């Protein structure tokens, strides 16, 4: 009958087997080595399969979200704070439409729309 090893006991491990005790660090090391080594995802070399990618993913998403938020805030500020140009010049009988002013006002509206979209994307990345 095969001998069953105890689950999550701090009485086994490489440091105890070699007779070396280093205080609290040794206790915590043995605890995590013993208890997490029993899980099926564990490689045995001290790293989980997703352990290397998780910090990278949240750092990239956080930095990208921050960049999107800053760009969106700048676009919203530019679209909202810059004054619109008059499109129609003249009186009621004779009205001249300034095409450049129409394009300019349309660009400011697009700037506000892009700013809102970037802020929304930043919020989604922040939630991820």
Beta bridge partners of 96: 89
pLDDT tens-digit series, residues 108-126:
999 999 999 999 999 998 8
Q: Residue holding tokens 């009621």?
A: 92
Which residues 6+ apart lie within 8 Å of 66 measured at CB? 122
Q: How far apart are CA 82 and CA 21, in angstroms?
A: 69
Q: Are 26 and 32 in contact (CB under 8 A)?
A: no
pTM of the model: 0.55
Instruction: Give me 9's structure tokens.
Output: 């006991």
pLDDT tens-digit series, residues 16-54:
555 555 555 566 666 666 555 544 444 445 455 557 788
Instruction: Give me 17's structure tokens.
Output: 């087997």
Q: Which of 80, 66, 79 is nearest to 119 (CA)?
A: 66
Q: How far apart are CA 43 and CA 51, in angstroms?
A: 11
- In this prediction, residue 28 carries a pLDDT of 64
pLDDT tens-digit series, residues 63-113:
999 999 999 999 999 999 999 888 777 777 777 788 888 899 999 999 999
């Amino acid at each position: 009958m095969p001998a069953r090893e105890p689950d999550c006991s701090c009485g086994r491990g490489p440091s105890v087997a070699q007779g070396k005790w280093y205080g609290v660090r040794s206790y915590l090391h043995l605890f995590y080595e013993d208890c997490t080594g029993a899980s099926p995802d564990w490689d045995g070399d001290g790293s989980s399969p997703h352990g290397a990618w998780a910090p990278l993913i949240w750092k990239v998403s956080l930095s990208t979200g921050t960049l999107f938020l800053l760009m969106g805030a700048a676009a919203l500020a530019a679209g909202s704070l810059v004054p619109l140009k008059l499109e129609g010049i003249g009186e009621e009988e004779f009205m001249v439409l300034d095409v450049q002013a129409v394009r300019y006002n349309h660009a400011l509206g697009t700037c506000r729309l892009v700013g809102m979209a970037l802020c929304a994307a930043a919020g989604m990345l922040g939630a991820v």
